[in-house]
Amino acid sequence: DVQLLESGGGLVQPGGSLRLSCAASGFSFSTYGMIWVRQAPGKGLEWVSGISGSAGTTYYADSVKGRFTISRDNSKKTLFLQMSSLRAEDTAIYYCAKRSGDYWGQGTLVTVSS
Amino acid sequence: DIVMTQTPLSSPVTLGQPASISCMSSQSLVHSDGNTYLSWLQQRPGQPPRLLIYKISNRFSGIPDRFSGSGAGTDFTLKISRVEAEDVGVYYCMQTTQFPYTFGQGTKLEIK
Protein backbone atom coordinates (compact mmCIF):
# COMPACT_ATOMS: atom_id res chain seq x y z
CA ASP A 1 0.00 0.00 0.00
CA VAL A 2 1.11 3.55 -0.73
CA GLN A 3 1.84 5.49 2.44
CA LEU A 4 2.97 9.07 2.98
CA LEU A 5 3.84 10.13 6.51
CA GLU A 6 4.62 13.74 7.32
CA SER A 7 6.55 14.90 10.36
CA GLY A 8 8.35 17.94 11.67
CA GLY A 9 5.45 20.27 12.36
CA GLY A 10 5.13 22.27 15.54
CA LEU A 11 5.00 25.69 17.13
CA VAL A 12 7.53 28.23 15.89
CA GLN A 13 7.95 31.95 16.41
CA PRO A 14 7.54 34.45 13.58
CA GLY A 15 10.78 34.67 11.64
CA GLY A 16 11.76 31.16 12.66
CA SER A 17 12.47 28.04 10.62
CA LEU A 18 11.14 24.53 10.42
CA ARG A 19 11.88 21.48 8.28
CA LEU A 20 9.07 19.14 7.30
CA SER A 21 9.66 15.58 6.16
CA CYS A 22 7.46 13.15 4.27
CA ALA A 23 8.43 9.48 4.35
CA ALA A 24 7.10 7.51 1.39
CA SER A 25 6.55 3.79 0.95
CA GLY A 26 4.68 1.40 -1.30
CA PHE A 27 5.65 2.91 -4.66
CA SER A 28 8.71 3.72 -6.74
CA PHE A 29 9.43 7.06 -5.08
CA SER A 30 12.08 8.35 -7.47
CA THR A 31 9.75 7.90 -10.43
CA TYR A 32 7.17 10.41 -9.26
CA GLY A 33 7.00 14.11 -8.77
CA MET A 34 5.81 15.20 -5.36
CA ILE A 35 4.00 18.25 -4.01
CA TRP A 36 3.28 20.05 -0.76
CA VAL A 37 -0.19 21.47 -0.17
CA ARG A 38 -1.32 23.39 2.90
CA GLN A 39 -4.62 24.19 4.54
CA ALA A 40 -4.99 27.08 6.95
CA PRO A 41 -7.47 26.57 9.79
CA GLY A 42 -11.00 26.51 8.40
CA LYS A 43 -9.81 27.36 4.88
CA GLY A 44 -9.38 25.62 1.56
CA LEU A 45 -6.42 23.89 -0.04
CA GLU A 46 -3.41 25.84 -1.27
CA TRP A 47 -0.63 24.33 -3.38
CA VAL A 48 2.77 25.30 -1.93
CA SER A 49 5.55 23.60 -3.88
CA GLY A 50 6.40 20.77 -6.25
CA ILE A 51 9.47 18.79 -7.29
CA SER A 52 10.22 16.41 -10.13
CA GLY A 53 11.18 12.79 -9.53
CA SER A 54 14.83 13.46 -10.21
CA ALA A 55 14.75 16.66 -8.13
CA GLY A 56 15.96 18.49 -11.21
CA THR A 57 12.99 20.86 -11.28
CA THR A 58 11.26 22.67 -8.46
CA TYR A 59 8.23 24.93 -8.32
CA TYR A 60 6.92 27.35 -5.71
CA ALA A 61 3.83 29.38 -5.01
CA ASP A 62 4.51 33.11 -5.01
CA SER A 63 3.48 33.24 -1.36
CA VAL A 64 6.47 31.10 -0.31
CA LYS A 65 9.05 31.77 -3.02
CA GLY A 66 12.40 32.73 -1.54
CA ARG A 67 11.42 31.46 1.92
CA PHE A 68 10.67 27.76 1.38
CA THR A 69 12.84 25.12 -0.27
CA ILE A 70 11.60 21.74 -1.46
CA SER A 71 14.01 18.84 -1.81
CA ARG A 72 14.05 15.06 -1.78
CA ASP A 73 16.33 12.16 -0.94
CA ASN A 74 15.39 9.34 -3.28
CA SER A 75 17.73 6.90 -1.53
CA LYS A 76 15.71 7.41 1.66
CA LYS A 77 12.36 7.85 -0.10
CA THR A 78 11.83 11.11 1.74
CA LEU A 79 10.50 14.50 0.68
CA PHE A 80 11.41 17.68 2.55
CA LEU A 81 10.16 21.22 2.91
CA GLN A 82 12.57 23.66 4.51
CA MET A 83 10.62 26.68 5.73
CA SER A 84 12.27 29.88 6.88
CA SER A 85 11.22 33.46 7.68
CA LEU A 86 7.93 32.00 8.83
CA ARG A 87 4.90 34.25 9.19
CA ALA A 88 1.61 33.92 11.01
CA GLU A 89 -0.10 33.34 7.66
CA ASP A 90 1.99 30.19 7.15
CA THR A 91 0.03 28.53 9.97
CA ALA A 92 -1.62 25.50 8.41
CA ILE A 93 -1.73 21.76 8.10
CA TYR A 94 0.90 20.78 5.54
CA TYR A 95 0.20 17.74 3.37
CA CYS A 96 2.58 15.94 1.08
CA ALA A 97 1.10 14.20 -1.94
CA LYS A 98 2.12 12.53 -5.15
CA ARG A 99 2.19 15.10 -7.94
CA SER A 100 -0.90 13.60 -9.57
CA GLY A 101 -2.84 14.03 -6.32
CA ASP A 102 -3.71 10.35 -6.09
CA TYR A 103 -2.18 9.78 -2.65
CA TRP A 104 -1.97 12.15 0.31
CA GLY A 105 -0.41 12.01 3.73
CA GLN A 106 -2.27 12.71 6.97
CA GLY A 107 -0.65 16.12 7.33
CA THR A 108 1.46 17.88 9.94
CA LEU A 109 0.40 21.06 11.71
CA VAL A 110 2.63 24.12 11.63
CA THR A 111 1.73 26.97 13.97
CA VAL A 112 3.57 30.27 13.69
CA SER A 113 2.94 32.36 16.78
CA SER A 114 4.78 34.28 19.47
CA ASP B 1 -2.23 31.47 -12.69
CA ILE B 2 -5.29 29.40 -13.55
CA VAL B 3 -8.25 30.35 -11.38
CA MET B 4 -10.68 27.58 -10.49
CA THR B 5 -14.24 28.63 -9.62
CA GLN B 6 -16.66 26.20 -8.01
CA THR B 7 -20.41 26.48 -7.68
CA PRO B 8 -22.27 26.15 -5.44
CA LEU B 9 -20.14 26.73 -2.33
CA SER B 10 -22.71 24.95 -0.21
CA SER B 11 -25.04 22.13 -1.19
CA PRO B 12 -27.68 20.78 1.19
CA VAL B 13 -28.91 17.47 -0.20
CA THR B 14 -31.48 14.90 0.88
CA LEU B 15 -30.17 11.37 1.39
CA GLY B 16 -30.68 9.30 -1.74
CA GLN B 17 -30.98 12.35 -3.97
CA PRO B 18 -28.44 13.45 -6.57
CA ALA B 19 -25.91 16.24 -6.16
CA SER B 20 -23.91 18.18 -8.69
CA ILE B 21 -20.92 20.50 -8.37
CA SER B 22 -19.54 22.68 -11.14
CA CYS B 23 -15.97 23.83 -11.64
CA MET B 24 -14.84 26.38 -14.17
CA SER B 25 -11.24 27.21 -15.02
CA SER B 26 -10.04 30.61 -16.23
CA GLN B 27 -8.24 28.97 -19.13
CA SER B 28 -8.21 25.64 -20.91
CA LEU B 29 -6.84 22.72 -18.91
CA VAL B 30 -5.80 20.78 -21.98
CA HIS B 31 -2.13 19.90 -21.58
CA SER B 32 0.31 19.83 -24.48
CA ASP B 33 0.24 16.03 -24.19
CA GLY B 34 -3.48 16.08 -25.02
CA ASN B 35 -4.68 15.15 -21.53
CA THR B 36 -6.81 17.36 -19.30
CA TYR B 37 -5.56 17.20 -15.74
CA LEU B 38 -8.69 18.06 -13.80
CA SER B 39 -9.27 16.11 -10.61
CA TRP B 40 -11.94 16.03 -7.93
CA LEU B 41 -11.02 15.55 -4.28
CA GLN B 42 -13.18 14.81 -1.26
CA GLN B 43 -12.24 15.94 2.23
CA ARG B 44 -14.28 14.47 5.03
CA PRO B 45 -14.26 16.31 8.38
CA GLY B 46 -10.90 15.92 10.12
CA GLN B 47 -9.42 13.92 7.26
CA PRO B 48 -6.88 14.66 4.52
CA PRO B 49 -8.12 15.06 0.97
CA ARG B 50 -8.63 11.92 -1.08
CA LEU B 51 -8.82 11.57 -4.84
CA LEU B 52 -12.19 10.70 -6.34
CA ILE B 53 -11.83 11.47 -10.05
CA TYR B 54 -8.80 12.17 -12.25
CA LYS B 55 -8.46 13.43 -15.82
CA ILE B 56 -12.06 14.68 -15.83
CA SER B 57 -13.92 11.39 -15.66
CA ASN B 58 -11.77 8.52 -14.39
CA ARG B 59 -12.77 7.11 -11.02
CA PHE B 60 -9.83 6.40 -8.74
CA SER B 61 -9.35 2.97 -7.20
CA GLY B 62 -12.05 2.08 -4.69
CA ILE B 63 -14.32 5.03 -5.47
CA PRO B 64 -18.02 4.04 -5.72
CA ASP B 65 -19.65 4.31 -9.12
CA ARG B 66 -22.22 6.80 -7.79
CA PHE B 67 -19.45 9.38 -8.32
CA SER B 68 -18.92 10.55 -11.88
CA GLY B 69 -17.08 13.38 -13.60
CA SER B 70 -17.63 15.07 -16.92
CA GLY B 71 -16.69 18.15 -18.89
CA ALA B 72 -14.06 19.50 -21.23
CA GLY B 73 -11.84 22.52 -21.78
CA THR B 74 -12.83 24.91 -19.02
CA ASP B 75 -16.13 23.52 -17.68
CA PHE B 76 -16.34 20.46 -15.46
CA THR B 77 -18.92 18.74 -13.29
CA LEU B 78 -18.87 16.23 -10.45
CA LYS B 79 -22.09 14.30 -9.93
CA ILE B 80 -23.17 12.03 -7.11
CA SER B 81 -26.08 9.94 -8.28
CA ARG B 82 -27.49 9.14 -4.84
CA VAL B 83 -26.01 10.91 -1.84
CA GLU B 84 -25.14 8.80 1.19
CA ALA B 85 -24.33 9.95 4.71
CA GLU B 86 -20.63 9.17 4.25
CA ASP B 87 -20.47 11.69 1.38
CA VAL B 88 -20.64 14.64 3.79
CA GLY B 89 -17.58 16.83 3.47
CA VAL B 90 -15.94 19.41 1.24
CA TYR B 91 -15.29 18.74 -2.44
CA TYR B 92 -12.51 20.44 -4.39
CA CYS B 93 -11.63 20.54 -8.04
CA MET B 94 -7.91 20.73 -8.72
CA GLN B 95 -5.94 21.39 -11.86
CA THR B 96 -2.52 19.83 -12.34
CA THR B 97 -2.10 20.84 -15.97
CA GLN B 98 0.35 23.58 -15.17
CA PHE B 99 2.20 25.06 -12.21
CA PRO B 100 1.16 26.64 -9.97
CA TYR B 101 -1.43 23.96 -9.34
CA THR B 102 -4.68 25.50 -8.20
CA PHE B 103 -7.84 24.45 -6.40
CA GLY B 104 -11.43 25.55 -6.39
CA GLN B 105 -12.72 27.21 -3.23
CA GLY B 106 -14.42 24.01 -2.11
CA THR B 107 -18.08 22.98 -1.99
CA LYS B 108 -19.51 21.88 1.33
CA LEU B 109 -21.91 18.98 0.93
CA GLU B 110 -24.29 18.53 3.82
CA ILE B 111 -27.40 16.52 4.47
CA LYS B 112 -30.73 18.33 4.76
Task: State whether residue A3 sits within 8 Å of chain B by CB.
Answer: no
What is the secondary structure of B80-91 as a DSSP string?
A: ESS--GGG-EEE
Give phi and psi for B22, each to the nearest 5: -105, 150
Is A9 within 8 Å of A106 (Cβ atoms)? no
The one-digit pLDDT tens for each residue of chain A (114 residues) are 999 999 999 999 999 999 999 999 999 999 999 999 999 999 999 999 999 998 889 999 999 999 999 999 999 999 999 999 999 999 999 999 999 999 999 999 999 999
Task: State whether residue B94 sits within 8 Å of chain A by CB.
Answer: yes
- Mean pLDDT, residues B3-27: 97
For B37, which residue in chain A has the nearest alpha carbon? A100
Query: Within 10 Å of residue A25's Cβ, how many Cβ atoms?
Result: 11
Q: Please say if the pLDDT value at position B77 is more than 90.
A: yes
**A70 to chain B, closest Cα gap in Å:** 14
Determine the Cα–Cα distance for residues A16 and B13; give it in Å rounded to an integer: 45
Residues written for chain B:
112
Which of A59, A97, A102 is facing B60, going by the closest CB pair?
A102
pLDDT of residue A55: 84
Chain A interface mutation, best of B92, B101, B107, highest count of A Cβ atoms under 10 Å: B101
User: Is A106 in Cβ contact with B48 (below 8 Å)?
Assistant: yes
- Mean pLDDT, residues B7-21: 97
A108-112 and A92-98 strand pairing: antiparallel
Those residues with Cβ within 8 angstroms of residue A77's Cβ, 6 or more apart along the chain or in another chain: A23, A24, A25, A29
Give the number of C-alpha atoms closer than 13 A to the C-alpha of residue B19, restricted to the C-beta side. Answer: 29
* Cβ contacts from A onto B, under 8 A: 51
User: Is A104 in Cβ contact with B94 (below 8 Å)?
Assistant: no
Q: The sheet that has A45-51: what strands, in order across it?
A: A10-12, A108-112, A92-98, A34-39, A45-51, A58-60
A18-25 and A78-83 strand pairing: antiparallel
Using alpha carbons, select from B88, B63, B70 the residue that is nearest to residue B13: B88
Is the torsion defined by CA of A105, A106, A112, B4 positive or negative? Answer: positive
Q: pLDDT digit string (tens) for B85-109?
A: 999 999 999 999 999 999 999 999 9
How many separate helices (H) and strands (E) can be counted in chain A?
A: 0, 10
Residues of B in contact with A99 (CB under 8 A): 96
Q: pLDDT digit string (tens) for B27-72?
A: 999 999 999 999 999 999 999 999 999 999 999 999 999 999 999 9
pLDDT of residue B85: 97
